[in-house]
Amino acid sequence: MLGVYGGTFDPVHFGHLRTALEVKELFELDEIRLIPCFIPAHRDEPSAAAVMRVKMLELALAGRSGMTLDTREIDRGGPSYMVDTLASLRETMVAEMPLLLFIGGDAFEHLCQWHRWHALFDYAHVVVMTRPGAGHSELSEVLKNRYTDSVQKLKDTACGSLFFQRVTLLDISATAIRQMVAEGRSPGFLLPDAVISYIDQNQLYRR
């Protein structure tokens, strides 16, 4: 199985990395791809240039087996729509291979605002990462019909289902990290040291 985890990664931090590692192990994925967007469709443009966000991800993922960087959204340019990304991935995969799109609970609350969101299920299963003990808001009829609580179903089918998975969601915010750096405070222990060094060397997020 292949997993997809998108975001701005501005900068990538341990909150991203911990959840990526956790779902890779929980779902026994062959690989999970972290895909930085070029221009996010539903939020402000990233503070750091695309090439720098890619470099920070490269540094963070160095030596991590099965956790890889995929730059297709940046290579494609323009607004980054996940449905286009999943479609392009499907073109390179065995048709029967399960593809899992991992999104956070906050993103899921706004899923119906995503570009061609219904079509996401034509290419992948959607797995919502939630906090332990968290429930989920009442599902629309469309999503209710997609819902499953069977991991085996995800493994046996290529796409089409909605699943909720509890993970360790560290309370780390990229916005807070950028603010911290802007104020001259250390973001130590919130993201990999190699990424912190890169931020310092390139004077990222300074006022």
Whether 59 maps to a domain, the answer reads: yes
Is pLDDT at 44 greater than 90 in this prediction? no
User: Which pLDDT tens digit goes with each residue over 81-94?
Assistant: 999 999 999 999 98
User: Which pLDDT tens digit goes with each residue over 51-88?
Assistant: 999 999 999 999 999 999 999 999 999 999 999 999 99
Q: Give the mean pLDDT of 178-201.
A: 97
Q: Domain containing 109: what range?
A: 2-201
Q: Are 205 and 199 in contact (CB under 8 A)?
A: yes
Residue 138 pLDDT: 65
What whole-number percentage of the chain has pLDDT above 70?
97
Whether 127 maps to a domain, the answer reads: yes
Give the predicted TM-score (pTM) of the model: 0.93
User: Which pLDDT tens digit goes with each residue over 84-134?
Assistant: 999 999 999 988 999 999 999 889 988 988 999 999 999 999 999 997 655
User: Which pLDDT tens digit goes with each residue over 131-177?
Assistant: 765 556 667 788 889 999 999 999 999 999 999 999 998 999 999 99
Whether 24 maps to a domain, the answer reads: yes
Res. 43 pLDDT band, cuts 50 70 90? confident
How many domains is the chain built from?
Answer: 1
Q: Which residue has the higher pLDDT, 45 or 186?
A: 186
Whether 109 maps to a domain, the answer reads: yes
CATH of the domain at 45: 3.40.50.620
Residue 135 pLDDT: 56
Determine if the peptide bond prior to 11 is cis (ω within 30°). yes
- Quote the CA–CA distance of 14 and 120 in Å, as a whole number: 27
Contacts of 26 (CB under 8 A, 6+ apart): 165, 167
Whether 47 maps to a domain, the answer reads: yes
Q: Where are the alpha helices (DSSP H) in the chain?
A: 14-26, 50-61, 72-76, 82-90, 105-109, 120-123, 141-146, 151-156, 174-182, 193-201
What one-character-per-residue DSSP string does 14-43 give? HHHHHHHHHHHHHTT-SEEEEEE-SEESSS
Whether 206 maps to a domain, the answer reads: no
Cα distances from 147 to residues 25, 36, 42, 188, in angstroms, run 22, 27, 25, 39
Residue 140 pLDDT: 79
